[in-house]
Amino acid sequence: MKSSETQLQNSTDGGPAEVHQTVETGAEALTTSQGVTISDNQNSLTAGVRGPTLLEDFVLRDKIFHFDHERIPERVVHARGFGAHGTFECTRDLSDITRAAPFQEVGKLTETFVRFSTVAGNKGSFDLARDVRGFAVKFYTDEGNWDLVGNNIPVFFIQDAMKFPDLVHAVKDEPDRGFPQAQSAHDNFWDYISLTPESMHMVMWQMSDRTIPRSFRTMEGFGVHTFRLINAEGASTFVKFHWKPRQGLQSVLWDEAVKINGADPDHHRRDLWEALTTGDHPQWDLCLQMFDQDFADSFDFDILDPTKIIPEELIPPEPVGTLTLDRAVDNFFEFTEQVAFCTQHVIPGIDFTEDPLLQGRNFSYLDTQLKRLGSPNFSQLEVNRPRGCPMHNFQQDGQMRKGNRRGRVNYEPNGFEEGPREDPLKGYVSYAAPVEGAKVRIRAESFADHYSQARQFYISQTAVEQEHIRSALAFELGRCEQARVRRAIVGHLRNIDEDLAQGLADGLGMPELPPPATAARPTRQDLPASDALSILKNGPETFAGRVLGVLIADGFDGTLLDRLTGAVTEAGGKVKLIAPRIYGARDDRGDLCEAQFSVAGGPSVLFDAVAVLIGPEGEAALAAMPQAQTFLRDAFAHGKFIGHAMAEKLFEAAGLQGKADDGCFDLGLVDDGETVDAFVSRCARLRHWSRDGLAKAAP
C-alpha cells in the first residue's frame, strides 16, 4: 500500500495551505475534494474482490458526483466560441470627447478578454458554418468592466428586440426533428426572413463571404448599434465602433468551407491557438465613427436603426487604439465558457442610445448569465471580476459567494461610517437625454426603408463577390423544400437588384420571376457604392499570418525547400509540410524531413497557397495517390497560387496537364531564388481570381 506525507507550504494567495506530496515520487498527491489523499484511483471499494460496491465509498461518490455535474447550459446563441486574452493600447487621446478610462492618454494599456463565436450552431458544431461571427470584447478598465458585445457584420437582422426569440427559433434546428444544426439553409429560416423584410440588408452580408471567414484573425468586428461617448462636461457624441484587422480581410470559398468542416472542424480555434502560441499576435485597430445630432438629423436613415450602416465615405472611422491578442487561455472552461458578456456593462463615458434592439439586449444578458452560471455571483469569477479597479459594495450571500464584507455593517447609508460610499463626481451618470411621448407599440417611420442599403451593399461588391452571393443564395434556397419560400425571397431580391434576382431564379430553375415584394419604401437607386463593404477590396497586401502548404515526396530538392521556407518566413508566413505519410520524406541530400500532415490528413483547403516539391524517387508513387491528385486539383480549382518542382506527373494525374497558368510558378527552373521570391510575393494576393474554377463560384 502506498503511503503519503503532508507538508506545509505557502499557497499562491499568500496564506498557508496544505500541499500533499506522494512519498514515492514526490508528485502532488491526488485528493478528494475534501483534501483527503486517495490511495487507489482505479478500484471502487467492494465487499469481496468480485462483490458489490459499498455505499460508504466516499472516494468514488465524490469523484462521480462531480463528474455528473460538469456541464453548464450552453449559450442559447453563440454557443460555440473561442476566447483569448489581450491588451488594448490607446493611440489617440479622446479625453475631450469621452471620459471613458481606456481613452484618456496615448499609450494607456487596458487588459481585455475577447471571445469569438458562431451564432446558430451548438457548442459541438463546426467552425466553418456559414454564419455570423460574434466578436465580444471585455475591457477590464480602471473604472470598471466595459463589454463591447459585437459581431463581424455591422448590421443585424431585426430592428426590435421583440423579434429576437422568433428569429433565433427560426434559424436554429427545427423543433420536431432537431436539425439542421448550424445551418440557415432550411425552410424555417427563409420562411421567417421572407416575412421580415427588414432582414434583407443583413441577409446580403450573410450570403456574402463575410460569413465564411478564413480565420478569426481576418475578420472585422462591429459594435452594430449607435452608442454615445460622454465627456467630463456631460456632452454627448454619437459613436459606432469598428474593429479593423491589421491582418486584412480574408474569407474562404464555400467549397473550401464545406471541406474544411470535414477535415478540421476546429479550424478557426486551432488557427488562433497556433497564432497565439507561436507569438504571431493578431491585432485590430479600434476605429470610431463619431458624429453629432446635426449629422444624425441629416442622415438618410435613422441612426437608431440597427439594420443600417453609416457609410465610411460619409463618416470615416478614425483609429483610436489597437487591440493585440497576446495570450491563449490556459483553461477553456474557466475563461471561454464562463466569461459573461453583458451589453449593459458600460463605464463612465460610454452610454446607450434608444436603439430598440440595444435596449432589449440590455434587459436580456443578465438573465442569461444567471441561467448559465447559476449564481448572481458570476462577477466574482476570475474572467469576469473587474481587474483594473476594486469591487466594493454591500451585496452579499447567494450561491457560491465568497469574500462577503467583514464586520457589522452591510447597508448604506450607515451611521457607523463603515464601508464604501457613492461618489457623485466620479460615479456613472446616465446621459440626460430628453424623453417624452405616449406609451406605444409602433415602429418609427424612419425605420421603414428595408432595401436601399441592401442594394448599396450589393453594388459595392466586386463581380466575383456578387457571384458568390448569388451562389450562396442558390445553395441556401436550394435546401428549402417550400417553393413559396423560394419565390418570396426572389421577390424581395427584385427590390434590391433585378440581375441578382434573375440570376438566382435561373439558378433555381424558376420558370418565371415572381412579382417584387411589397415595399414600405421604394428602393433608392442613388446610394453610391462603398469600397469599405467589399472583402476583396480590403484584403492584405502581404502573406504575413498565412500558411503555405508544401507537399513533398522522396528525392525533393532540399535546398529549394530551405529557400522557400526562408522567403515565406521573411514575409511573415508559415510553412507546413505534407508528405505521402506523416513520417515525412527524404530530400535529395538524404535528410528526412518530418511532415505535419499526411496527404490524406492535410488537404489543400487548409492552406492559403501550396507548393508541390517532388523528387525522382517519389514522383510516380505520389502521382498515383488519389489524395495527392485531389490536393492539387482543389488548390487549382480554388484559385490558389501554386509553386511546383518536378510535379508534371502529378499535374497530369490530376487532370491539369497543360493548364498551369501564371498563378502557377515552376520553382525548379532557376535556382537563383528569383522565382521563389516572385511566387511568395504573389501569394500575398491570396488568389488568382482570373482562373476559371470554383473561386469564381459554382454554377
In this structure, the dihedral spanned by the alpha carbons of residues 533, 539, 545 and 548, taken in order and rounded to 10 degrees, is 130
C-alpha span between 113 and 84 (Å, rounded): 6
Give the three-state DSSP class for 115.
strand
What is the Cα gyration radius of the chain?
A: 29
Looking at the Cβ atoms of 287 and 567, the one nearer to ligand HDE is 287
Distances (CA, A) of 450 to 5, 352, 580: 72, 24, 53
CB of 20 to ligand HDE, least distance (A): 37
Binding residues for ligand HDE (CB under 6 A): 75-78, 81, 115, 117, 134, 136, 149-151, 156, 161, 164, 224, 339, 341, 357, 360-361, 364-365, 368
* The three cell numbers locating residue 9: 507550504
| Amino acid residing at 461 | Q
Q: What would the grid cell of residue 582 be?
A: 506523416
Nearer to ligand HDE, 224 or 680 (CB): 224
Grid cell digits, residue 440: 406605444
Q: How far is the CB of 339 from ligand HDE (least distance, A)?
A: 6
Considering the complex, state which of residue 134 and residue 491 has its C-beta at the smaller distance from ligand HDE. Answer: 134
The strand pair at 318-328 and 350-351 is best described as unpaired
Q: Which residues participate in catalysis according to the annotation? A: 78, 151
Q: Which residues pair with 83 in a beta bridge?
A: 115
Element (H, E) at 16: strand 16-22
Closer CB to ligand HDE, 384 or 523, in the complex: 384
Q: Which residue lies nearer to ligand HDE by CB, 31 or 368?
A: 368
What secondary structure letter does DSSP report for 216? Answer: G
Nearest approach, Cβ of residue 365 and ligand HDE (Å): 5
Residue 281 to residue 279: CA distance in whole angstroms: 6
Nearer CB in complex with ligand HDE: 136/517 = 136
> Residues 240, 625: contact at Cβ < 8 Å?
no
78 vs 494 by CB, closer to ligand HDE: 78
Phi, psi of 275 (to 5 degrees): -60, -45
Residue 181's identity, in one-letter code, is Q
Would you say 136 or 585 has its CB closer to ligand HDE?
136
Distance between CA 446 and CA 467 in Å, rounded? 32
CA–centroid distance for 624 within its chain? 39
Give me the half-sphere count of Cα atoms (radius 13 Å) on the Cβ side of residue 421: 9
Minimum distance between the CB of residue 383 and ligand HDE, rounded to whole angstroms?
11
Cα 185 → chain centroid: 20
Q: Which helix (H) or strand (E) holds 138?
A: strand 133-141
Phi, psi of 588 (to 5 degrees): -70, -5
Burial of 399 (0-12, 13-18, 19+ CB in 10 A): exposed
What is the closest distance, in whole angstroms, from the C-beta atom of residue 630 to ligand HDE in the complex? Answer: 36
CB of 336: closest distance to ligand HDE in angstroms?
8
Shortest distance, position 138 Cβ to ligand HDE, whole Å: 9
Question: At its nearest, how many Å lie between ligand HDE and the CB of residue 189?
Answer: 16
- Give how far the C-alpha of residue 475 lies from the chain's centroid of Cα atoms, to the nearest Å: 23
Taking CB atoms, the residue at the shortest distance from ligand HDE is 134
